[in-house]
Structure 1
Amino acid sequence: MDVPVSVFEGQPVDEQARLIAMVHEGARDGFQYVYDRFRIGYGVQTGEAMPQALAELYTLFNSEPWLDFARRLTGDERIAHVDAMATRFGPGQFLNGHNDHHEKAGRLYAYVLNLCPRWRAEWGGLLLFKDDAGEVVEAFTPGFNVLNVFRVPQAHAVSMVTPFAGAPRLSITGWWRTHPLSLSPPPISAAHGGGGPRSGGGGEPRARWMGSPPPPSFGWSPSPASGGGDGPVTPRAWPPTSVPPTGSGGRGCWSPPGRSWRRSPPRRR
């Protein structure tokens, strides 16, 4: 559910708390999420106003040099399109476990371009990977200009950002796909994969994305228009000049300034 930030923040505090409580109730034993996002690709294709840096980053991601980098990194020649959304996780925001499965979306790999100049693991916002039993087997702390890439479907989550975090968790995220999607926004249940209620999109570019529809007292309901994102994000784009060993895939962390690669191969039992 994309709730425009202006709508959410324009509500009385008790109404905001009521909606968040609904999200928390669903998160206790199921799939839920709440964070801010801006769908960059959709905005570029529809002429939505956005910071120039975001539009330029989307162009970079879909340039042949970048696509070639993605193919060499993964060893997968099927990669033909990169979508992107700017995300912001503030205190109390999170993304419960899911696997990104979407049968017709052509998703091959998920990525997170971290944009956090300073981050402590104690602040939460960790990218968690889970095994079939739901146990956390690996975690990545947000950094700056660090690219996390992993094959999908694969169970993962983003832990809740703590109330004492010293900054929001900023990133550009999306999927490396076999083909671009149509302009129509997907149902929310399919956006991450692995559960969640079905709903339409938002109504303005700055949107708080959450897994529960607002109560009638909000005086607002979703429209078929797309929403997404929050806040100006200025990424430092980097031209890939070399790639790490490809190996068998799995998941890893690619940090261009140090040219370092840390990859965890699929676990074998």
Structure 2
Amino acid sequence: MSTATNPFGLMATPALDLAPTGHLPYVVDQARPHPDTKTVTVLIGRAELDDGKGLCAIWWPVTGVEYDVEAAYDPARISLADAETRLRAQLAERGMQVTEFRNEDAPLTAAQRGPAWIAQYGCNPQCQLDHAGPDGEPGWHSTAPIETQMRDIDSDPDPDGPELPFLGAQVYVSGYRPQAYGRTTKVWVHNGPRTGELTPAKARQVAREMREFAARLDVLCDQAEEIAVGDFEGDPEVYRLDREHEDARIRAITKGRA
């Protein structure tokens, strides 16, 4: 985040240090009710919040820019989604309704790049591909992916493969020579290395079923925790003797086949 309004690294005691804006930065979850209500836009970005107290997110009001609140979260301690949820709740307690979170670390959207960019590359306003840079002009457009903080949960992952999120999704628009081939909008839903290309309606159905599944998974976890009370470690000596017996049995079978 910009050093002009950024108190990161200066905040050994966040409740006391003033941000350069002259306002106190607020530690998330230290809210006090406020009687007024207004809508606000929040600019949020990653930062290392090392205060020795496990601080995970802070925010402070700003003026003279296109947003009302600036915030920072530590990705080593909290996901972006969870930070936004906590910020939204805390700001609501102070009479501020968040209408938009702007991720400072995300690529610029076509809308932010301006009408000339949209006209030149035929982008939808939410497209975040850099058509003039490394992304080029592939004939398609995409929003930035959303993803879980949790990485892929495959028990046998490819050791040489990239570290992928457990879940991710993005909007994909195919617009190559649209006069000839038309234009289609799909939602790519990623699960580790696998991707489903879905219509928006199908993706919404997936979201609904994920919410229902999450509730059932919570119940299943309660059952697992109850059952796990009976778990215990094996005896190392018994383990050693069993392995010796098993190895001897395998050697005898192998010898008999020779």
TM range (shorter): under 0.3
Higher helix share: 2
- Name which one, 1 or 2, has greater alpha-carbon Rg: 2
Q: Which has the higher contact order (CA 8 A, sep 6+)?
A: 1
Could you say which structure has the higher strand fraction? 1
In the superposition, the TM-score normalised over structure 2's length comes to: 0.23
